[in-house]
Amino acid sequence: MTAGLTPVTDPGPVVDGETSKRRGWGWLLLVPGMLWLAVFFLFPTVQLFFTSLYDPSGSYEQGYAMTWHFANYVDAVRDTWDLFARSFLYAGITTLVCLALAYPLAYAIAFKAGRWKHVMLVLVIAPFFTSFLLRTLSWRTILADQGPVTDFLQTIAILPDDGRLLATPVAVIAGLVYNFLPFMTLPIYASLDKVDHRLVEAAGDLYASPFTGFRKVTFPLSTPGVVSGTLLTFIPSSGDYVNAQLLGTPNQYMIGNRIQSAFLTEHNYPLAASLSLILMGIVVVMVVAYVRRAGTEDLL
């Protein structure tokens, strides 16, 4: 859709993208990085697939027999579908809340901050250089039963007197939102920053109200940022287990908690492997479907 608008924007380099690329041996630059990905990412993933088919009656100490036990997947889904459902529900809500908070922030930085633009950008990133665990632990204190937020909400009667925030889904989702907010803000800002002001003005000249101008011009131009922001928020939050563990109870545990304990505590590798692959599979399918739908395949 931007094709029809290009004459308005800066024509940019006149050189055609394809002809400026050189053929030849340039692909060799890819080799070292690709080897790294092949050895430490693709190979372990394939191996994880084999692990997921081991006979579950084996154990970490005695070793596992390879029996192509596909029933592991059926067992895994039967036992933990509620955790999967909760993970994707929490991740979905987290993504929406992040979008609702990050869009105005990114918009303010791109269009309203003026000479304070870079300062605000720095302020977006700055809190996230402090350890993520320390920040989550301080939320734990802030949201605690005798903490300021709970007291305030009880005073204004939003929360019943015996109500609590910590150890509820609200606390877990609040933690996730907090942790992944910059991953939403920065890509949206990057897209908004590229929006040509003249296009918005043109919409105004053609009698679009500011809101219509936003809806028909600014927002569509920012979709690449919204798409990559939602992905960068949704993917890590669906697999997170730290927030559920620190801010919730086992009733709020997500699939990451289960995978973590199956691997590190129970040493039940076939179960952990099949859960991991199911999670990865669902995420990849959702991401591809979403990116297709949003029409931004070039992100991939």
Which residues, numbered 60-79, are part of the site for other proteins (CB under 8 A)?
A: none
Candidate residues 8, 43, 155, 295; the one interacting with other proteins per rule CB under 8 A: 43
Residue 84 makes contact with other proteins by CB under 8 A: no
Q: Are 80 and 255 in contact (CB under 8 A)?
A: yes
Candidates 66-74, 134-142, 164-172, 215-223: pick the segment binding other proteins (CB under 8 A): 134-142
Candidates 66-74, 77-85, 127-135, 159-167: pick the segment binding other proteins (CB under 8 A): 127-135
Shortest distance (Å) from residue 167 CB to other proteins? 15
Residue 249 makes contact with other proteins by CB under 8 A: no
Candidate residues 11, 12, 160, 250; the one interacting with other proteins per rule CB under 8 A: 12
Residue 11 makes contact with other proteins by CB under 8 A: no
User: Helices 269-294 and 255-264, interaxial angle, to 10°?
Assistant: 150
- Which positions from 205 through 234 interact with other proteins, judged by CB under 8 A? 210, 231-232
Secondary structure in 3-state letters for 195-231? CCHHHHHHHHHCCCCHHHHHHHHHHHHHHHHHHHHHH
- Say how many residues touch other proteins, by CB under 8 A: 98
Q: How far apart are CA 152 and CA 30, in angstroms?
A: 56
Residue 138 makes contact with other proteins by CB under 8 A: yes
Shortest distance (Å) from residue 48 CB to other proteins? 4
Candidate residues 144, 153, 159, 170; the one interacting with other proteins per rule CB under 8 A: 144
Q: How far apart are CA 86 and CA 93, in angstroms?
A: 10
Residue 117 makes contact with other proteins by CB under 8 A: no
Residue 170 makes contact with other proteins by CB under 8 A: no
Residue 292 makes contact with other proteins by CB under 8 A: no
Residue 273 makes contact with other proteins by CB under 8 A: yes
* Long-range CB contacts (within 8 A, 24+) of 83-87: 83/253, 83/254, 83/255, 83/257, 83/258, 84/255, 84/278, 84/279, 84/282, 86/252, 86/253, 86/254, 86/255, 87/238, 87/239, 87/254, 87/255, 87/256, 87/279
Q: Are 236 and 183 in contact (CB under 8 A)?
A: yes
Strand partners, 81: none
Residues 186-205: x where in contact with other proteins by CB under 8 A, - otherwise, as a string = ----x------xx--x--x-
Concatenated DSSP letters for 35-50? Answer: HHHIIIIIHHHHHHHH
Residue 265 makes contact with other proteins by CB under 8 A: no
Candidates 67-75, 78-86, 135-143, 161-169: pick the segment binding other proteins (CB under 8 A): 135-143
